[in-house]
Chains A and B, each alone.
Chain A
Amino acid sequence: MSEPFEAFGDVEDLAADLASPDATVRRLAVMALAETSDWQAVPHLVAAIADAAPEVREQAARALGEFDGRAVGEALARAVTDSVAAVAAAAAESLAELRDADAGGALLALVAHPSPFVRTAILRGLKALQIEASLQPAITALSDVEPAVRVQAVGVIGYLKRQETLPALIGAARDGSAEVRLAAVKALSFADQSAEAAAAVSAALKDAAWEVRAAAAETLGRLGVSSASPALVAALADELWQVRQKALQNLGRLRAREALPAIIALLGDDNPSLRKDAAAALGEIADPASREALATRAQDADPDVRKTVAWALGRL
């Protein structure tokens, strides 16, 4: 009779295979150790990070992602500097899974590592840990030569949501790299009612990259600063409909009464998604002055537009 319950074997027995001369056997041992989910397996997996065969190190780096804590953080910090790219990549993925603040020390030690890949992975790992100690290194990293590093640095700062980091994030919103500006514009969302954040984000509505412009519209809606409305109204004339749509949505969110004429004009747009969001914005603003304009779209050819118009009329 086969055993009815899954048996995972004794950790020490499984670890014995780590001494095999055959790298494939050692790799399978790493997989079996990870499968136990047993914390006793950690020291063996940490040791396997120093294995001679890269496929074993890669497997160990992946396996450590199932665990957490200081020893795991130290082993992964070592693996992320591995000369074999596949090992370093596996370690980078596992670093991003760490949640235990105890792992932070090992990561912080590598924030200035010569390899941009390592610096990126380390900051990505630090982001989720949300530890105070990573704030200053992240601000420093905003000046890193590598955009990918600066993106992660913005993430670390954004996750901590500190009022005093606003100048740093505002600076990043003007970064030379669109990816960094995008992250910074999104990260500024926490600065509820901040006029200086709103000013910086309003400027980003004219960014060369459309995704930054779209994100800026979104952030302005979240910031809730009503003085940002004119900039959003201007964005209703953006060359890309995706940006115009975000501007519409967030003018609604800001209940921007002064935007009514511009929004009403978009009720007649060719693009049904814009007509729908124009109607939705008018519903959010709920000014009776828009009743007549909304009523003209009650028989729109697009069902989503009709439904949104009906909803909006119900709110006036």
Chain B
Amino acid sequence: MDDITDGLTEVSCDILVIGGGTAGPMAAYKAKRRNPQARVVLLEKANVKRSGAIAMGMDGLNNAVVPGYATPEQYTKEITIANDGICDQAPVFKYASRCFDIIQELDSFGIRFQKTENGDYDVKKVHHLGTYVLPMPNGDTVKRALYRQLRREQILISNRYMATRLLTGRDGEIAGAIAVNTRTAEFLVLRAKAVILCAGAAGRLGLPQSGYLWGTYENATNSGDGYAMAYHAGAGLANLECYQINPLIKDYNGPACAYVAGPFGAYTTNSEGRRFIECDYWSGQMMQEFYSELQSGKGPVFLKLNHLHSDTIGKIEAILHTVERPSRGRFHENRGTDYRERMVEMHISEIGFCSGHSASGVFVDEFARTTVTGLYAAGDMASVPHNYMLGAFTNGAVAGEHAAEFAAGRDLPDYDPSDVEQERARVLAPTRRDDGIPPNQIEYKARRMVNDYLQPPKVTAKMKLGQERLAEVREDLEGAMVARDAHELLRSLEVASILDCADMAAAASLFRTESRWGLYHYRVDHPEKNDADWFCHSILRKQDGRMMLEKRPVAPYIVPIEDEERSAYDRQRIRESA
């Protein structure tokens, strides 16, 4: 295993799904259900059994729109406000309208949601705005249940293949993808009538404070490959400057899951044990408040549970230490931190792209279509804001169904064989060198530059310097990177994705000359929000081999937002600065 082997195979299918984490399995499943005659391939660079953000399951839904607790209109309104109004509502509304059906379907797969003693969904009320939390105390079984459905639908699963580039036809429409086996370096050309990208967040973009490359907030496999592939295929990417930055357990660098502990009475405090967050919504504004408190004399910030009853803490531990990031318990144990006695020190994450928590993603409409014909995207890498795990499932379903119908009326497009040859040369270049720089060093340097120059507060001159430094790293990547086995080759390909994402982060951040979304896009030298010029999406795309950016109007709202509600944020800001 891991020896570099020469080989190339070509296969054809109707629908190719890239990424077997959350959205991908659902997309593949729904495509096959919609058209049982279709040949559906699910490609995954790890193993579908335990891959992606939910490799170890999930401890709850935090955006479940359950009848009787919240309405699609209310949810759409809150997401619009949380995104400072920059939100195409149609895909959000569609998600909100469909997600309860998806919950019930997941339930029928054997995925367990918390039920009351009367067998009903035990939705938790968090605040007066909307009620969206549905715990999953046995959420560790999510992947196994999904996998079982995929097997029973006879989806063709390709594990340990990393897609590196999309193939397009004569008119720029999608024609398939090129992939490399991560243990043998053999190539696989997959021709397809439709491709659904579900490759997750760009979570290996910034460097965690620990300096450990793999100690990321997101699953460390999520190196932004989907963003890079979409870019090189000519698709538009939306609002990349609206970074993901999340609160987390310091050093452990994983979520503290305040939304799990919140309904039990836990909350975020400063070092005086007092609440400080003014903002009602999970948003860049909330992260700005978090950041300000961290930097203030009242910092650092903590998750406070020690006021809760010991029995209650036992219940919280039972969830947090078995599901999603179960090694949390081990981390606390090493440090002798008992929730009953000590508050848990928190921090904020490195930057990334992820629409699961923010809004940076490949632009999609309410059918999960990108701007490239035949190319779909869903989950953390598609632009539906704040869609979390349930959004990945729901939008994955939307993508799968639409792609199945699209593919049914279509012939397999041809691709240009010289594209494959070029890609083989690019991919294998690091294996042709006898010496040079290993991918881990190139990655470390690139990500350190991201921290130094691109993370907020964003400064124009620094970001421009960052672009120069990143260009130098790119020269090393293209001219001196060496991979000695197939595993290192996998890492070298990931570094290329990371560097593409870093370049996109810089370009998108420089383009929007205003501040918006709180900390996510706080530009020190353009500190004000400027609705007159910037109430729009930014769209980044590759044109004639170069990165270009343009404005795209926000689609007319289908759920109106009152001026009073729209200004809720600004009022909070004024209070902050007062």
Query: How long is the Cα–Cα vector from A66 to B109 in the complex, in angstroms?
Result: 10
Asked whether, in the complex, the Cβ of B7 is within 8 Å of the Cβ of A1, the reply is: yes
Q: Which residues of B contact A242 (CB under 8 A)?
A: 265, 308-309, 312
Query: How long is the Cα–Cα vector from A251 to B184 in the complex, in angstroms?
Result: 65
> Residue of B at shortest CB range from A185?
B117
Q: Which residues of A contact B128 (CB under 8 A)?
A: 280, 283, 308, 311
Query: How long is the Cα–Cα vector from A159 to B118 in the complex, in angstroms?
Result: 4
Whole-angstrom distance between the Cβ of A42 and the nearest chain B Cβ: 13
Residue in A38, A280, A307 whose CB lies within 8 Å of B280 = A307
Query: How long is the Cα–Cα vector from A161 to B115 in the complex, in angstroms?
Result: 14
Asked whether, in the complex, the Cβ of B110 is within 8 Å of the Cβ of A189, the reply is: no
Asked whether, in the complex, the Cβ of B119 is within 8 Å of the Cβ of A130, the reply is: yes
Asked whether, in the complex, the Cβ of B309 is within 8 Å of the Cβ of A37, the reply is: no
Query: How long is the Cα–Cα vector from A2 to B119 in the complex, in angstroms?
Result: 47
Asked whether, in the complex, the Cβ of A189 is within 8 Å of the Cβ of B119, the reply is: no
Asked whether, in the complex, the Cβ of A2 is within 8 Å of the Cβ of B265, the reply is: no
Asked whether B405 is an interface residue with its Cβ less than 8 Å from the other chain, the reply is no
Number of A-B residue pairs, CB cutoff 8 Å, is 82
Give the interface size bracket for A toward B: 35 or more
Q: Which residues of A contact B148 (CB under 8 A)?
A: 37, 66
Query: How long is the Cα–Cα vector from A301 to B158 in the complex, in angstroms?
Result: 56
A159 and B119 in contact, given A280-B128, A301-B274 (Cβ under 8 angstroms): yes
Q: Which residues of B contact A6 (CB under 8 A)?
A: 156-159
Asked whether, in the complex, the Cβ of B118 is within 8 Å of the Cβ of A2, the reply is: no
Asked whether B423 is an interface residue with its Cβ less than 8 Å from the other chain, the reply is no
Question: Contact flags (1/0) for B293-313 with A, using CB distance below 8 Å?
Answer: 000000000000000110110
Query: How long is the Cα–Cα vector from A90 to B41 in the complex, in angstroms?
Result: 34
A5 and B184 in contact, given A97-B110, A303-B277 (Cβ under 8 angstroms): no
Question: Contact flags (1/0) for A303-316 with B, using CB distance below 8 Å?
Answer: 11001100100000
> Residue of A at shortest CB range from B277?
A303
Whole-angstrom distance between the Cβ of A58 and the nearest chain B Cβ: 17
Whole-angstrom distance between the Cβ of A252 and the nearest chain B Cβ: 10
Question: Contact flags (1/0) for B106-128 with A, using CB distance below 8 Å?
Answer: 00101000001111000000001
Whole-angstrom distance between the Cβ of A30 and the nearest chain B Cβ: 15
Asked whether B331 is an interface residue with its Cβ less than 8 Å from the other chain, the reply is no
Asked whether, in the complex, the Cβ of B184 is within 8 Å of the Cβ of A2, the reply is: yes
CB proximity to A under 8 Å, residues B1-47: 7, 9, 11, 41
A307 and B278 in contact, given A6-B157, A37-B152 (Cβ under 8 angstroms): yes
Asked whether, in the complex, the Cβ of A4 is within 8 Å of the Cβ of B158, the reply is: yes
Which residues of A approach B to under 8 Å, CB–CB? 1-2, 4-6, 8, 35-38, 66, 97, 99, 127, 130, 154-155, 158-159, 161, 183, 186-187, 189-190, 210-211, 240, 242, 245, 272-273, 280, 283, 301-304, 307-308, 311
What would be 6 A-B contacts, judged by CB atoms less than 8 Å apart?
A66-B148, A97-B110, A211-B311, A272-B275, A303-B276, A303-B277
